[in-house]
Amino acid sequence: MADDQSPSLAQALTLFLSDRKAKSSRDGHQELTRFIQWCGRDRTVDRLTPSEVASYSESGLWGSNSATQLKLVKSFLTYLKDKGHVEMSLAPSLRASKSKKGAHRVHFKSSQEQAELSQEGYDNLQARLEILKGERVKIVGDIQRAMADKDFRENAPLDAAKERQGMIESGIKELESILSNAVVSSPTSDSNEKRVRLGASVTLRDLANGKKTAYTVVNSREANPTTGKISSASPVGKALLDKLPGEEVEIAVPKGTLRYVIETIDG
């Protein structure tokens, strides 16, 4: 089980580094710092999701020497599980994507559709965009240094730098598209019309056995079932949206139909 009072990622990083007896490399520290910034320094550890870890793996921020640069990050994720801060191991989600020479992989699906996000989700994506823009500047220098080698036939550093540049530019384009079309959800202030909206925390009571369950309805990009965050596009999320306290909802599952009553709506 994850700790009831989970530390922030920044606090967990401090504890991790202080617990390590052997000094790690400067590059490793930089990679850890970049990972924490990507996920959000102030976010609690128990809210970190496998999809976010995988997204970082695919971002291209780690450059060409992935095995070395991601090693310490993977150790950090293993440390979080060993200390009981997370319920499942996140380290397996950290996999450097393999790319083909001469081709730029696109790791984000292009989309012009409007995305409704919570304020936290919007801020996290904005922070990731700023990190990618910073990496965009660095990669230009890497390419210039690689081009100083006049033998372009066997210039692996140049190929790797260009590959990384393609992934970074792809990520920037996608995040800018999402943010420019995003709508930040804001709960209604009218207590008489407190409907289930994106970002709302909902307590349900099972009409069959009286068991209560709490969920927070979020955009699919923020969903994390292990912490009770369900996508608004999921069967449960769809059934709850726009409902009022006291209303009954029916959710179709493979084994039949579940019936709940909405007890409370917060946020």
Q: Where are the alpha helices (DSSP H) in 70-118?
A: 71-82
Do 191-266 and 1-98 have the same topology in CATH?
A: no
Higher pLDDT pick, 112 / 242? 242
Q: Has residue 15 got a pLDDT over 80? A: yes
Amino acid type, 42: D
- Residue 65: count of CB within 10 angstroms of its CB: 13
| Beta strands 183-184 and 116-117, pairing class | parallel
What is the average pLDDT score of the chain? 76
Collapsing DSSP states into helix, strand and coil, what is residue 107?
Answer: coil
CATH number of the structural domain 191-266: 3.10.50.30
Q: At what angle do helices 71-82 and 26-39 cross, to 10 degrees?
A: 60
Q: What was the pLDDT predicted at 247?
A: 93
In the chain, what is the straight-line distance between the N-terminal and C-terminal CA atoms, in Å?
26
Contact yes or no for 247/262 (Cβ under 8 A): yes
CATH 1.10.150.130 for the 1-98 domain, yes or no: yes
Quote the tokens at residue 34.
């970049």
Quote the tokens at residue 152.
């372009």
Q: Average of pLDDT values for 136-148?
A: 80
Fold assignment, 100-184: Helix Hairpins (1.10.287)
> What's the whole-model pTM score?
0.51
Q: Average of pLDDT values for 202-211?
A: 92
Q: Any bridge partners for residue 179, and if so which?
A: none
| Beta strands 256-266 and 201-206, pairing class | antiparallel
Q: Any bridge partners for residue 21, and if so which?
A: none
Q: To which H or E segment does residue 235 belong? A: helix 235-240
Distance CA 158, CA 156 (A): 5
Distance CA 191, CA 185 (A): 17
Contact yes or no for 185/198 (Cβ under 8 A): yes
DSSP state at residue 1: -
Q: Average of pLDDT values for 235-262?
A: 88
Supply the Cα-derived Rg of the chain in whole angstroms. Answer: 22
Q: Has residue 100 got a pLDDT over 50? A: no
- What residue segments make up the domains of the chain, in order of their start? 1-98, 100-184, 191-266
- CA distances to 45, 147, 223 from 37, in Å: 13, 30, 20
Distance CA 133, CA 139 (A): 10
Amino acid type, 191: S
| Range ranked top by mean pLDDT from 139-143, 165-169, 188-192, 210-214 | 210-214
Q: Has residue 193 got a pLDDT over 60? A: yes
pLDDT tens for 162-188 read: 777 887 888 888 888 888 888 777 655
Task: Place 204 in a pLDDT band, splitting at 50, 70 and 90.
Answer: very high
Q: To which H or E segment does residue 221 belong? A: none
